[in-house]
Chains A and B, each alone.
Chain A
Amino acid sequence: MSVPPYRAVLFAGLAFALALPLLAGVLGLDYAVGIATRILILALAGIGLNLILGFGGMVSFGHAAFFGLGAYTVAILSHHDMTGEAFATWPFEIGGTVAAILAWPLAMAVCALAALVIGAISLRTGGLSFIMITLAFAQMLFFFFVSLETYGGDDGLSLLARSSAGPLDLHDPAQFYFLVLAIVLLALAVTARWSRARFGLALQGIRDNERRMRALGFATTRTKLAAFVISGAIVGLAGALMANHTEFVSPSFLSWQRSGEILAIVVLGGLGTVFGPVVGAVVFFVLEEVLSQWTQHWMIVFGPLLVLAVLFAKQGLWGLAAQKLARHD
């Protein structure tokens, strides 16, 4: 019995991801675990954005807002835990926390709520206006955190420590890496599952022909809004993880360049493919690493590369690869 090449590539990737901390230890490249963690976190943000961008056809240019919101939720809760001051005293007292089990779902909830409001307003428009209004909301939140002096304003906010997660010690790079890997695998499994389920199929139908889907009796706006909210929550979780990874948050988490980066990751990897964002994140950061070692002005190479990728590799790298692999099946 032969394994189809598509599966073989996926298993090879998984095996590599699982063996990475060990390999890094053997080769003496301990910093690689940190880089891999960072790549996985950005991949998770890409998976979140891909949900609405790839499967739903909604071009959000403001998803850094959720990334930053998730990160700030974790950082602010940890800040209050450190100072011992209550975050809010009304309607009941809310203190800070460093428990991942509390802070991370809360970050997702905050982002889901923000996405509900932003999505409800933005989805009234379409096309270019949608791009711009999502960008506008992200800019609003960016400036909000810039002027939020209580939590560092422009200078950002340092976390005293990473979240505590029961028996896991998140300060151990390998343990944190495996936790992030598990979350990414879960997100991939969920994406693969629901892209073939009713909700995912309805969303893809709306992407391809919204009017027809409405005529078929689907509540198209509600479906799109639901996808937008889920997408915001996933990106928020990625932000919460990133806050833990860097142990520092700043308004640059919400900058429009960050939104562009997440967009680039999704498109480079392959729009509307399950594994595309992971491939995109890997390629993005490997390129950044390689180019920035070669010259400090790596952007001057990266920018034109991005243009070329858009012009000539529309399906994205994973899209192209999946096509190739399937052909030999």
Chain B
Amino acid sequence: MLLILEQVLNGLQLGVMLFLLAAGLTLVLGIMNLVNLAHGSLYMVGAFIAASAAQWTGSFLLGLLIALPAAALVGIAVEVIALRNLYERDHLDQVLATFGLILFFNEAVAMIWGPRALFIDPPSWLSGAVEILPGVPYPAFRLAILGIGLAVAGFLYWLVARTRLGMTIRAGASNREMAGALGIDIKRLYTLVFGLGAMLAALAGVMAGPIYAVEAGMGEQILIPAFVVVVIGGIGSIRGALAGAVLVGIADTLGRAFLPGIIGAFLGPAAASGAGAALASMAIYILMAAVLIWRPRGLFPAHG
């Protein structure tokens, strides 16, 4: 029972990380109709800059504070140089061009930081464990990720639903030309949204630092699940991204924790390591296929 609670929390924590990436992806997709495979690269760039900055300054928080604006700048540069020209193109062009960007970023990171994986130490006041229930310790850092993720979700909801900026974002999403005609600077708005998405991705990257290895190619490991989240949630919907992220995070974590055991109980230990592990790593894709069969437009379709 306690093991299940712990795994559910782990699943939520993975879900929160996925949400940070998926939120940026879904905004860019919903508003600019752009498939950005290079979103994972911004996550990676954020993690690398934070790792270096934290080493320099000796402080995780300073690393975070340097990495976020730096990644936002990288994102804005990418938008202005390359992606801006892709908004009017079809998805195929966008997939290919951003695939090219991934190759570039992975190689650039490997050249600058070398092929070895880096690690970021969590701040000392978050490195211990907290007793969530009497006798059940849980790493404080993972709890902090959960808290930050939920806070960001709340902030995004407030931003999109309650502020003037959010209003223009929604206007730009539902009718680009009309919003432009009404005096909204669409180009600047797009750059701004892209920078925001880049910052969220970098935030996820920094928080991933102490848990996973910081290495070239780390972006794609989480990018594809993040896309699964976007598609499950419904393209362009922040609410859908949150629901999808939690669903995918929990399905993946619980699948990996318990499926081999369950299958082993029925079919024996050999099947547990083979079929169980296979099913566990396939779980989120099966989930996505199932959702798309049931609802081809995702759980929370954003438009119409």
> Does A43 make an interface contact (CB < 8 A)?
no
Q: Which of A53, A150, A307 has the most CB of B within 10 A?
A: A307
Judged by a CB distance under 8 angstroms, whether B110 is at the interface is yes
Please name all residues of chain A whose beta carbon is closer than 8 Å to the beta carbon of B152 when the two chains form the complex.
Answer: none
Does B235 interact with chain A (Cβ within 8 Å)?
Answer: yes
Bound form: Cα–Cα A197–B224 in Å: 38
Q: Kindly list the 9 A-B residue pairs having the minimum CB-CB distance in the complex, ordered from nearest.
A: A306-B100, A303-B104, A303-B103, A147-B278, A143-B281, A299-B107, A300-B107, A136-B285, A310-B97
Beyond A136-B289, A139-B224, A143-B281, whether A303 also contacts B100 by CB under 8 A is yes
**Pair B99/A144 contact, Cβ less than 8 Å:** no
Q: Are B227 and A135 in contact (CB under 8 A)?
A: yes
User: Would you give 26 A-B contacts (Cβ < 8 Å), ordered by A?
Assistant: A59-B92, A121-B292, A124-B292, A124-B296, A128-B91, A128-B235, A131-B35, A131-B91, A132-B228, A133-B288, A133-B292, A137-B285, A143-B278, A143-B285, A147-B273, A148-B274, A148-B278, A149-B274, A256-B220, A256-B224, A260-B99, A267-B93, A297-B110, A299-B103, A303-B107, A307-B82
For chain A residues 282-329, which have a beta carbon within 8 Å of chain B?
A: 297, 299-300, 302-307, 310-311, 314
Residue A99 interfacial (CB < 8 Å): no
Residues of A within 8 A of B29 (CB): 128
For the side of the interface on A, what is the size category? 35 or more
In the bound complex, CA of A306 to CA of B99 (Å): 8
A246 located at the interface, meaning its Cβ lies under 8 Å from any Cβ of chain B in the complex: no
> Which residues from B are CB-within-8-Å of A149?
273-274
B277 contacts A by Cβ under 8 Å = yes
CB distance from B154 to the nearest CB of A (A): 27
B103 with A53: CB separation less than 8 A: no
Instruction: Decide: B281 and A137 in contact? CB cutoff 8 A.
Output: no
B151 within 8 A of partner (CB):
no
Contact partner of B100 (CB less than 8 A), chosen from A132, A256, A310, is: A310
In the assembled complex, how far is the CB of residue A294 from the closest CB belonging to chain B, in whole angstroms? Answer: 13
Contacting residues, chain B, for A179 (C-beta < 8 A): none
Task: Give every chain B residue within 8 A of A144 (Cβ-Cβ).
Answer: 278, 282
Q: Is the interface of A mostly helix, strand, loop or mixed?
A: helix
Do the beta carbons of B274 and A307 come within 8 Å of each other? no
- Interface pair B97/A147, CB less than 8 Å apart: no
B50 contacts partner chain A, Cβ-Cβ < 8 Å: no
- Among the interface residues A61, A128, A256, A303, which one has the most CB atoms of the partner chain B within 10 A? A303
Whole-angstrom CA separation of A310 from B96 in the bound complex: 7
Number of B residues near A (Cβ < 8 Å) is: 47
* In the bound complex, CA of A202 to CA of B62 (Å): 60
Per-position 1/0 for B265-284, Cβ under 8 A of A: 00000000111011001100
Question: Is residue A140 contacting chain B, with contact meaning CB distance below 8 A?
Answer: yes
Q: B140 at the A/B interface (Cβ < 8 Å)?
A: no
Name the CB-closest residue of B to A125. Answer: B296
Q: A59 touches which one: B91, B110, B288, B296 (CB < 8 A)? A: B91
Q: Is the CB of A135 within 8 A of B224?
A: yes
Which residues of chain B have a CB within 8 Å of any CB of chain A? 29, 35, 82, 85-86, 89, 91-93, 95-97, 99-108, 110-111, 220, 224, 227-228, 230-231, 235, 273-275, 277-278, 281-282, 285-286, 288-289, 292-293, 296-298
Within 8 A of B (CB), among A253-267: 256, 260, 263-264, 267
A299 contacts B106, C-beta separation under 8 Å: yes
Q: In the complex, which of the residues A136, A260, A303 contacts B228, with contact meaning CB atoms closer than 8 Å?
A: A136
Query: Looking at chain B's contact residues, is the secondary structure mostly helix, strand, loop, or mixed?
Result: helix
Cβ-Cβ contact count across A and B, 8 Å cutoff: 129
Cα A61 to Cα B297 in complex, Å, equals 18
A129 within 8 A of B: yes
Residues of chain A lying within 8 A (CB to CB) of residue B282: 139-140, 143-144
State how many angstroms separate the Cβ of B114 from the closest Cβ of chain A. 12
CA distance A258 to B92 in the complex (A): 16
Question: Do the beta carbons of A300 and B111 come within 8 Å of each other?
Answer: yes
Query: Does A146 touch B at the CB level, under 8 Å?
Result: yes
Please indicate the chain A residues that have their CB under 8 angstroms from the CB of B93 in the complex: 267, 310, 314
**B30–chain A nearest beta-carbon distance, Å:** 11
In angstroms, Cα B96 to Cα A54, docked, is 14
Q: B35–A311 contact, CB under 8 A? A: no
One of A146, A148, A311 near B97 (C-beta < 8 A): A311
Interface centre among A137, A147, A150, A264 (most CB of B within 10 A): A147
Does the CB pair B92–A53 fall under 8 Å?
yes
CB distance A307 to B101 under 8 Å? Answer: yes
* A127 at interface by CB-CB < 8 Å: yes
A79–B224 Cα gap in the complex (Å)? 32
Q: Provide the bound-state CA to CA distance between A310 and B85, in Å.
A: 10
Tell me which of B96, B231, B297 contacts A267 (CB under 8 A): B96
Chain A residue at minimal CB-CB distance from B35: A128
Residues of A within 8 A of B296 (CB): 124-125, 129
A124 to chain B: closest residue by CB: B296
